[in-house]
Chains A and B, each alone.
Chain A
Amino acid sequence: MVRSPRSFAVVLIVIALAACSSTDPRTAPGYDAAAPVPARITGATVLLLPADVECAQVTAGGVAQPMAAWTEAARANVRNALEATLAERGARLVEYDGAAVDPARAHQHERVLKLNEAVGTSIYFMQDYLPTKRAVFEWSVGEGAKTLAEDFDADYALFVFLRDSHASAGLVGMNVFKGIVGLAFGAPVPIVSGVHFGFAQLVDLETGNVFWFNKMYADGPGSDLRTPGEAAQSIDRLLTGCPL
């Protein structure tokens, strides 16, 4: 029964259905799907904030197990891909280094960085649901952003958030098992894994306003952050429409 062609077909269909990817770029001040991509920002200095990247393995029970070695590789890949892509586009990059500044200033930066991530997460989840935000793309991290502009002599800050999950061998087995049982008794829903999602956010450090934002969701092949090549593809997709 395990080798039945029918069950393989079911599993394949499940995988095929699951595989898709999308990006959704937004630009301040007014969001209009038909609006052209804004002109490239030339000559600006961009502060690259520490990316928030985590990789997990989804176990047979559907538990997301954080994976340190994968995450370490993914963080390096994302950073390299960001540097390479932005260098190619001619942006001047400065990397955020909290250790290099005065502790009192670093404390102020930490607050801005946390707010920046909270704003990005809010945009990711709420932009299309909040009645006051749906029509116009208008978000800001406030004037605290100026401290970053002053201390790093930068015009914009770019922040990237990415989550990456992969099926364990146990989960692959569990989903095959669910597919087989589904043929016999009904249709148990497979556990989704191999999901890659996140966002990129460009903040104008003079005003603190979010100048450009893009979110990405992919659950097919080709977005594995653990490999340098696919991480580069992910970053390329994430920076779709980025004016840098």
Chain B
Amino acid sequence: LRTAPLALFALGLAACTASPVADLQPGTRPALDTDEAGIWMAVDGIEERWRTSGHRLHDPALDAYLHRIACRLSPEHCQGLRVYVMEHPYFNAAMMPNGAMEVWTGTLLRVADESQLATVIGHELAHFERRHTLQQWRSIRSKATLSQVVNTVGGGLIGLATDVALRTSVLAFSREQEREADALGLARLPAAGYDARDGAEVWQLVVDEDRHIETPAAAVFLSTHPTPADRLASLQTLAADLPQPSARPAEGPGLAEVIAPHRLAWLEREIRRQEPAATAWLLDELFARGPADAQLHFARGELLRRSGSAGDREGAVAAYKASVELPDPPTEAWRSLGLMLDQLGRKDEARVALATYLREAPDAADAPLIATMIEGMP
């Protein structure tokens, strides 16, 4: 048992002297006999699952748009980057050490402008360039060895305490990497033509949304990431010292244009995630950004309709009416309006709304059902 501190000390020294990891060289794959090549091999398999995933959104224009932002932020690694858009209604993105990046549709629905999106992408690119996965892997490997030695010699409480200490240190290292990625990513914005002050505000969205999420987050020392409020504060501080953005060449379509074909589906998916308070906050946020919009009114109606409370039915009707009075309303707004009015006993208005739905969407799968409903109305 007396050997335990000695072994700890020896392995601690070994871990400390581990050589630092240099940044990834653009256009290179790791040599086949390295631990990094093993990691790349494993994540190549994960990328193949991303590529063929049922959650993947296949839109070449959107992929190209995101790739273009990534290339502006990291011109030297442009050739080695691949972007996959995944249909998940949450704010998230992820980077793999082989240059594959996934961006969730919830992120694209939430960001206010391209600089906020660039902040997210820049953060992921920093993980890639700094080879964070490799660093974390090597750190876990040496900590696991240390844990084995201590558990063999010490066992019991000493072993347990060491395990807890090592596991918390893995998480602390992960949070340190996140902070580094935040700072390095943000620093790339000005040269790419984005205002870092605008970009940093993306974390305000996360802070605000978290206030409306029903499931509380885990304590920070159990988390792989710093808290959104910490990240917002440090990014705002960093952004204040960054230079003004350089001019950005106008190339290709902008954010609003590339997400337009998908926005209605993303709003519907957002509602289905069953976090009504957070969705209500998001809709308010999107309303506050621009002129009234038929899709947003429709989404608000859908959210109210699903609340199940009688008081929200009138609100839903008002939202649907606001939607259909604007240009290009979703055809479903007519259907939802008709069904809601029917529930409220306003049969004449309901019939008109449902008839409009049938006229607008004669080939809809539920058209025969709606037609039967209209016939049955007094």
Give residues in A with beta carbon < 8 Å to B.
54, 56, 59-63, 65-69, 71-72, 107, 110-111, 114, 170, 174, 177-178, 181, 185-186, 188, 191
Shortest Cβ distance from B59 into chain A, in angstroms?
15
4 extra A-B contacts, CB within 8 A, seeds A110-B52, A178-B152: A60-B144, A61-B147, A69-B32, A186-B155
Residues of B within 8 A of A186 (CB): 155
Asked if residues A177 and B152 are in contact (CB atoms below 8 Å), the reply is yes
Report the separation of the CA atoms of residues A67 and B147 in the bound assembly, to the nearest whole angstrom. Answer: 23
Rank and list the top 3 A-B pairs by shortest CB-CB distance, nearest first.
Answer: A61-B144, A68-B37, A61-B145
Q: Does B143 interact with chain A (Cβ within 8 Å)? A: yes
Q: Nearest residue in A to B146 (C-beta to C-beta)?
A: A61
Report the separation of the CA atoms of residues A110 and B48 in the bound assembly, to the nearest whole angstrom. Answer: 10
Shortest Cβ distance from A158 into chain B, in angstroms?
20
Shortest Cβ distance from A108 into chain B, in angstroms?
11
Residues of B within 8 A of A61 (CB): 141-148
Asked if residues B40 and A68 are in contact (CB atoms below 8 Å), the reply is yes
Shortest Cβ distance from B49 into chain A, in angstroms?
8
Report the separation of the CA atoms of residues A191 and B140 in the bound assembly, to the nearest whole angstrom. Answer: 17
Residues of A within 8 A of B34 (CB): 68
Shortest Cβ distance from A102 into chain B, in angstroms?
16
Q: A178-B152, A188-B152 are in contact. Are A68 and B41 (CB under 8 A)?
A: yes
Residues of B within 8 A of A174 (CB): 145, 148-149, 152
Shortest Cβ distance from A44 into chain B, in angstroms?
28
In this complex, the member of A60, A61, A65 whose beta carbon has the largest number of chain B beta carbons within 10 angstroms is A61
**B38 in complex: contacting residue of A60, A68, A107, A110, CB < 8 Å:** A68
Asked if residues A114 and B52 are in contact (CB atoms below 8 Å), the reply is yes
Q: Does B39 interact with chain A (Cβ within 8 Å)? A: yes
Q: Does B224 interact with chain A (Cβ within 8 Å)? A: no
Chain B at the A interface: SS class: helix
Q: A59-B141, A61-B145, A72-B32 are in contact. Are A66 and B152 (CB under 8 A)?
A: no
Report the separation of the CA atoms of residues A61 and B147 in the bound assembly, to the nearest whole angstrom. Answer: 7
Q: Does B151 interact with chain A (Cβ within 8 Å)? A: yes
Residues of B within 8 A of A178 (CB): 152
Q: A59-B141, A110-B52 are in contact. Are A65 and B38 (CB under 8 A)?
A: yes
Shortest Cβ distance from A73 into chain B, in angstroms?
10
Q: A111-B52, A177-B152 are in contact. Are A63 and B32 (CB under 8 A)?
A: no
Report the separation of the CA atoms of residues A59 and B144 in the bound assembly, to the nearest whole angstrom. Answer: 9
Asked if residues B38 and A62 are in contact (CB atoms below 8 Å), the reply is no
Q: Nearest residue in B to A186 (C-beta to C-beta)?
A: B155
Q: Does B176 interact with chain A (Cβ within 8 Å)? A: no
Asked if residues B148 and A66 are in contact (CB atoms below 8 Å), the reply is no
Asked if residues A181 and B52 are in contact (CB atoms below 8 Å), the reply is no
Within 8 A of A (CB), among B103-154: 140-149, 151-153
Q: A111-B52, A114-B52 are in contact. Are A69 and B144 (CB under 8 A)?
A: no
**A66 in complex: contacting residue of B38, B141, B145, B155, CB < 8 Å:** B38
Asked if residues A63 and B144 are in contact (CB atoms below 8 Å), the reply is yes
Residues of B within 8 A of A71 (CB): 38, 41
Mask: chain B, 21-57; 1 = CB below 8 Å from A; 0 = not: 0000000001011110111111001000100100000
- 18 example contacts (A-B, Cβ-Cβ < 8 A) are as follows A54-B45, A60-B144, A60-B145, A60-B148, A61-B141, A63-B141, A63-B144, A66-B38, A68-B32, A68-B34, A72-B32, A107-B52, A111-B52, A114-B52, A177-B149, A181-B153, A186-B155, A188-B152
Residues of B within 8 A of A68 (CB): 30, 32-34, 37-38, 40-41
Report the separation of the CA atoms of residues A67 and B37 in the bound assembly, to the nearest whole angstrom. Answer: 7
Report the separation of the CA atoms of residues A111 and B56 in the bound assembly, to the nearest whole angstrom. Answer: 13
Residues of A within 8 A of B1 (CB): 185
Q: Nearest residue in A to B40 (C-beta to C-beta)?
A: A68
Report the separation of the CA atoms of residues A188 and B159 in the bound assembly, to the nearest whole angstrom. Answer: 12
Residues of B within 8 A of A177 (CB): 149, 152
Report the separation of the CA atoms of residues A111 and B39 in the bound assembly, to the nearest whole angstrom. Answer: 25
Q: Nearest residue in B to A57 (C-beta to C-beta)?
A: B38
Asked if residues B143 and A65 are in contact (CB atoms below 8 Å), the reply is no
Asked if residues B42 and A62 are in contact (CB atoms below 8 Å), the reply is no
Report the separation of the CA atoms of residues A36 and B33 in the bound assembly, to the nearest whole angstrom. Answer: 46
Asked if residues A69 and B37 are in contact (CB atoms below 8 Å), the reply is yes
Shortest Cβ distance from B10 into chain A, in angstroms?
13
Q: A59-B141, A170-B145 are in contact. Are A66 and B32 (CB under 8 A)?
A: no
Shortest Cβ distance from B216 into chain A, in angstroms?
32
Shortest Cβ distance from B202 into chain A, in angstroms?
34
Shortest Cβ distance from B112 into chain A, in angstroms?
35
Asked if residues A181 and B148 are in contact (CB atoms below 8 Å), the reply is no
Within 8 A of A (CB), among B1-23: 1
Asked if residues B32 and A181 are in contact (CB atoms below 8 Å), the reply is no
